[in-house]
Amino acid sequence: MAGDEGGIPPSEGGSEAARSDESFMKHALALARAARDAGEVPVGAVIVRDGEIVGRGFNAPIGTHDPSAHAEILALRDAARRLGNYRLPGCVLYVTVEPCAMCAGAIMHARLARVVFGTRDPKTGTCGSVLDLFAEPRLNHHARVTGGVLAQECTEILSAFFCARRKGGAGAGTAEPR
């Protein structure tokens, strides 16, 4: 599981906070399935404030012809629109896959309090996998990061998607790994 490396604590097993993290990650997983069903790499995200979901997004760069249409960006836009504020202090982002550099930048601009992700992304992850932007002291905002929440489910949906694509099944020939 993630959380065994540099500065990213795992969820505390069995605590109320950990159960709540898993519950919101299940909503993000449902959005990842929506991305998959649209032929996109299955990644989903929700933004939560005071225990309530205020933003939702799923990966959609192919369908929208928009390289920035990652789940996190769409969830940030949804929450900011809904709350009428380009900054989202006190909000938590749940995303099924470790954020990339673009999304980490947007998370910092939005002043999110915390980021919770599911599985690591060894190719583009910036919560410790390729870079650790949230631990970079020269950047002026630091969201707390928790990794490895429902990591197995978050990994499985990605693996199944790429496996099906290699076999010429759903989503074949379109989506590229993020």
Our CB check for Zn ion shows the closer of 19 and 123 to be: 123
Distance of CA 171 to the CA centre of its chain: 21
Q: What are phi and psi of 165, to 5 degrees?
A: -65, -40
Rounded to the nearest whole angstrom, what is the least distance from the CB of residue 19 to Zn ion in the complex?
Answer: 27
Task: Verify binding: residue 103, Zn ion, rule CB under 5 A.
Answer: yes
- In this chain, which of 28, 76, 91, 100 binds Zn ion, going by CB under 5 A? 100
Q: Which entry of 22, 52, 72, 153 is annotated as an active-site residue?
A: 72
Task: Verify binding: residue 56, Zn ion, rule CB under 5 A.
Answer: no
- Both structure tokens of 153: 């489910």
- Both structure tokens of 94: 């749940």
- Both structure tokens of 108: 């910092």
Our CB check for Zn ion shows the closer of 141 and 167 to be: 141
Task: Verify binding: residue 70, Zn ion, rule CB under 5 A.
Answer: yes
Rounded to the nearest whole angstrom, what is the least distance from the CB of residue 26 to Zn ion in the complex?
Answer: 21
Cα separation, 110 vs 115, in Å, equals 12
Question: Dihedral, CA atoms, 17, 2, 118, 156, nearest 10 degrees?
Answer: -130
Please say whether the beta carbons of 32 and 4 come within 8 A: no
Q: Which stretch binds Zn ion (CB under 5 A): 8-16, 103-111, 112-120, 125-133?
A: 103-111
For residue 72, indicate whether it is catalytic. Answer: yes
Q: Which spans of this chain sit near Zn ion (rule: CB under 5 A)?
A: 70, 100, 102-103
Q: Where in the sequence numbering do the catalytic residues fall?
A: 72
